[in-house]
Amino acid sequence: MQTMHGLMWMPSAPPTVARLFAFHLQPVPILPALAVLLVAAYLFAVAVMHRRGDRWPLTRTVWWMAGIATLLLMTATGFDGYGMELFSIHMLQHMVVNMLTPILLVLGAPVTLLLRALPAAHGRRRNVRAVVLVVLHSRVAQFVTHPVVTLGLFLLSLYGLYFTPLFDYLMSTMWGHNLMLLHFLAIGALYFWGVIGVDPSPRNSGRGLRQLSKPVLRVIELAVTVPFHAFFGVVVMMSAALIVHYYAAPIPGWGISPLSDQQVGGGIAWGFTEFPTLIVLGVLFGQWQKADTRNTRNTDRKAVRDGDAELNEYNARLAALAAHDGRPSGSGRS
């Protein structure tokens, strides 16, 4: 039930749930190989920490593995082959690899794990950890991770790809198809790295960008993309003509109209955004709550250490103002 097109596996029967989820590798499985490499590297770093007696949160590892699982689901099963035949399946691949997989991987905090697993430099000699820190603090990294840049790249993956001949050119070969998926993954990881903020980010090392790490501003940064994604999905869904020519020819015997399939793909692009957005909002809300709790705890500890000097000073100032106005002083702040 399969055919080969160049170096690509192409399904010869219409999609079913069983065929979509069935394990199947392309002849050159670039992204599945990358997924296996990422798993091995992550677990090795965790093992290094455990050998030193350091602990790494299990939840971080679970997030990372969940991200790898979604990547493998889209690139090592029937989804990959059917994505070469149907626009709707390709759009599902795009949404998962560009929006869901990066969120899960970023929540695994790979940069923090890397910095904690690598040995610290001794003396003036630079090691791998020192090089990583130099890169993170470089002006090039700060520019690439600037919210305006990451937002532009993130949206360009939609409008610049599907509304230009670039999509048809990339989809014509196995290498172009894999390059497109790698692009989705890399741009999504770059964007959500800054938005979620669980890892050290180059944007936090610049004076002008430091305030952008606050959860409230990151919620705004996330919200900016929502109308653009919704508009893209509506345009694709409502279009009376095909926006890409690669899927123009109907597949014999499948009974699927390319235009109706494109409309389904537009619906996927329009509706899928809500799920990753809710995940990120939940994470940012949790960070906000933790930061507020931490600030309250620090304030209470400071009050215990200095005998609540700040409150006493405030009440004294109120008393002085009341005395100056000729009125009896109030009880002050409680």
Contact between residue 168 and residue 246 where contact means Cβ atoms under 8 Å apart: yes
Start-to-end CA span in the chain (Å): 76
Q: Are 261 and 88 in contact (CB under 8 A)?
A: yes
| pLDDT one-digit tens code per residue, 239-257 | 999 999 999 999 999 999 9
Where helices occur in 118-173 by DSSP H, the ranges are 128-136, 139-144, 147-162, 166-171
Evaluate if residue 295 carries a pLDDT over 70.
no
Percent of the chain with pLDDT over 90: 58
The pLDDT value recorded for residue 294 is 62
pLDDT band for position 107 (50/70/90)?
very high
DSSP symbols for 160-184: HHHTSTHHHHHHTSHHHHHHHHHHH
Q: Using pLDDT thresholds of 50, 70 and 90, give the confidence band for residue 312.
A: low
Residue 26's CB is within 10 A of a number of other CB atoms, namely: 19
- Distance between CA 289 and CA 239 in Å, rounded? 43
Q: Spell out the domain ranges in the chain.
A: 2-119+131-272
H/E stretch holding 2:
strand 2-5
pLDDT in tens, 128-187: 888 888 889 899 999 999 999 999 999 988 999 999 999 999 998 888 999 999 999 999
At 44, is the pLDDT very low, low, confident or very high (cuts 50, 70, 90)? very high
